[in-house]
Amino acid sequence: MHARLVTFAIAVLAVAGACSGSSAQTSAPAVRQPVDSEAMGRGPIASTAQPGDPSHAYAFYATPMDLKKAGYVEQEYFVSGIATRFPSNPANPTTESTAIGSMPYTTRIVVRRPADPSRFTGTVVVDWQNVTAGHDIDTEWTANGDFFIRSGWAEVAASVQRVGVNGASPGPTAGLGLKQWSPARYASLDLTNGGAVLDDSQSFDVFSQIGALVKHAGPDVDPFKGMNVQHLYAGGVSQSARFLVVYYNTVQQQARVYDGFLVGLGGPRARTDVATKMLRVNTETDVWRGQGDPAVRTGDTANVHEWEIAGASHVPAAAVSTTPGDPRANLGWIQEREFGQAQALSCVNPGPSDVEDWAVFHSAYSALDRWVSTGQAPTRVTHIRITGPNAAPAGTWGIARDASGLAIGGIRLPKVAVPVALNNGENEPASLSNPLNGFCVLYGTHRPYDAATLTSLYGSRAAYLSRVTQTVNVLVKEGFVLQADADELVKSARSTSFGA
């Protein structure tokens, strides 16, 4: 019922090249069967500018990674169909939803995949694009693109919410949707049925239809032609996590499109009787802001597991990097490339935390894939210890801390297990003179230790690096860090300033 797909128009950016370092698929590509469709293809849309050009005649949030060198391509498509509408904020988010109507839509996806089908290992992640900032944020590729490339996976960035396409209502994040960013390029897109539907009730079925398109050949354009898609995972974080958990709870058992879910940084309580695997990953910020609530924490069950990362913040330091070319900087220089320099936030504490949560997300995707493929469940994690609800800020939970102010429990990456700074998940706006300062609650805290403190803790740089290496080796053995990322964590530690 959710496969009434799809009108597409190929758009822009295609970068191809010879692949290196990916594991080849051993089985021959399966023949992917077309799905039923009433739609007609609309033809390709030319790219006439490089990313960053003021004309905006390129795919929004085009990756800065050297895909040609990696043997990958990035291609944008327009997707149209008739979406069944389901309540986006159901009164009971733990029972199956009933359709409330239907509507036409046109949206876009960005596909990043191996250029050579033989390099594709069969797994696709569909990212429910985050729209908290008033526009699409490509969280899954920016955080995990390097893992996807070395694993031979593909990613599909899916614009399924009104704000990402049509723009937000008046306010500090208004006017940033695709249609405002490039009126010429994205003129045909619409997720509101001409302004009649503003509640994102179309989003769940649009997400299902995009997943079905990935699994089955389209009638006109097939983004995965010649490729054997074996596993399809739904991914997304923060605001997208809320939608994904509601989708999982109320739609997944009807749609049956996705084979697993990787949900990060929030969301309501997940049902435990849905016959699809879900791995949830939360930072310390998310535990502080409500994920520590026993009414939300699911615990580890046959189908749902939860990981929590001590010291990590909801918005990590990597995401706000202003270093040009940094591929993880989805709220830093990449956002500035698309919109110009943003006003700096004024927060009570310096931040964000620089705990490398991306390393845990890489391992989480690997663990989810192993869970779905072999039945081997992810390693269990001791929850971050909570002390009960706080009186203020409202809705937050107390975090139990050691004498150094570090959270107790959770996955402990080197910057928490062998700290050179205080990293935690808590912060607040210094004022609300800039409404965007409200985002400070997502940034956590980062306060570097001085040279005297480092010397008192470790004695020498060699002793510090030895402890980092030992910590990373344990994390690899436990399954919370992959070996390739372990090497990066040790390399980062070597660059840590240790005083004179």
HEC sequence for 186-216? CCCCECCCCCCCCCCCCHHHHHHHHHHHHHC
Q: Average pLDDT of 334-358?
A: 95
pLDDT score recorded for residue 104: 96
Q: Is the pLDDT of residue 173 over 60?
A: yes
Residue type, 218: G
Has residue 253 been placed in a domain?
yes
Q: Is the pLDDT of residue 235 over 90?
A: yes
Buried b (16+ CB within 10 A) or exposed e, 150-168: ebbbbbbbbbbbbbbbbbb
- Measured CA to CA, the distance from residue 303 to residue 186 in angstroms comes to 39
Q: What's the pLDDT tens digit per position in 397-421?
A: 999 999 999 999 999 999 999 999 9
Going by the DSSP 8-state scheme, the letter that residue 162 receives in this structure is H
Tokens of 406: 């570090």
Tokens of 233: 């995972």
Has residue 220 been placed in a domain?
yes
Domain extent, residue 110, equals 5-268
Characterise 183 by phi-psi region: left (phi > 0), alpha (psi -120 to 50), beta (else).
alpha
pLDDT score recorded for residue 218: 66
**Which H or E run contains 417?**
helix 414-417
Using only C-alpha atoms, what is the Rg of the chain?
Answer: 22
Q: Is the pLDDT of residue 437 over 80?
A: yes
Q: Which of 287, 234, 250, 245 is nearest to 268 (CA)?
A: 245
Has residue 460 been placed in a domain?
no
Residue type, 353: S
Q: How many domains does the chain have?
A: 1
Has residue 341 been placed in a domain?
no
- Measured CA to CA, the distance from residue 407 to residue 282 in angstroms comes to 14
CA dihedral (475, 476, 481, 487) positive or negative: positive
155 touches 262 (CB < 8 A): no
Has residue 17 been placed in a domain?
yes
Residue type, 270: A
Has residue 478 been placed in a domain?
no
pLDDT score recorded for residue 32: 42
End-to-end CA distance of the chain: 67
Q: What's the pLDDT tens digit per position in 5-23?
A: 343 333 333 323 333 333 3
Q: Which long-range contacts (CB under 8 A, 24 or more apart) does 18-21 make?
A: 18/71, 18/115, 18/116, 19/70, 19/71, 19/72, 19/114, 19/115, 19/116, 19/119, 20/69, 20/70, 20/71, 21/149, 21/150
Q: What's the pLDDT tens digit per position in 27-86?
A: 333 344 444 333 223 423 667 899 999 999 999 999 999 999 999 999 999 999 999 999
Has residue 479 been placed in a domain?
no
Q: Please provide the average confidence, as pLDDT, over all residues in the chain.
A: 90
Going by the DSSP 8-state scheme, the letter that residue 401 receives in this structure is B
Q: What's the pLDDT tens digit per position in 125-142?
A: 999 999 999 999 999 999
pLDDT score recorded for residue 477: 97
Q: Is the pLDDT of residue 493 over 60?
A: yes
237 touches 107 (CB < 8 A): no
**Chain centre distance of CA 325:** 19
**Higher-scoring residue by pLDDT: 160, 343:** 160
Tokens of 170: 């008046």
- Measured CA to CA, the distance from residue 121 to residue 401 in angstroms comes to 42
What is the β-pairing status of strands 231-237 and 260-264?
Answer: parallel
Q: How confident is the model at residue 498 (pLDDT cuts 50, 70, 90)?
A: confident
**Chain centre distance of CA 475:** 22
Instruction: For residue 490, give Cα distances in angstroms to 410, 415, 466.
Output: 20, 11, 10
Q: What's the pLDDT tens digit per position in 272-308?
A: 999 999 999 999 999 999 999 999 998 899 999 999 9
237 touches 129 (CB < 8 A): no
pLDDT score recorded for residue 482: 98
pLDDT score recorded for residue 397: 97
Complete edge-to-edge strand list for the sheet that includes strand 5-11: 5-11, 72-85, 101-114, 154-158, 123-128, 231-237, 260-264, 277-283, 304-309
Q: Average pLDDT of 100-122?
A: 96
pLDDT score recorded for residue 221: 75
pTM: 0.92
Has residue 354 been placed in a domain?
no
pLDDT score recorded for residue 211: 93
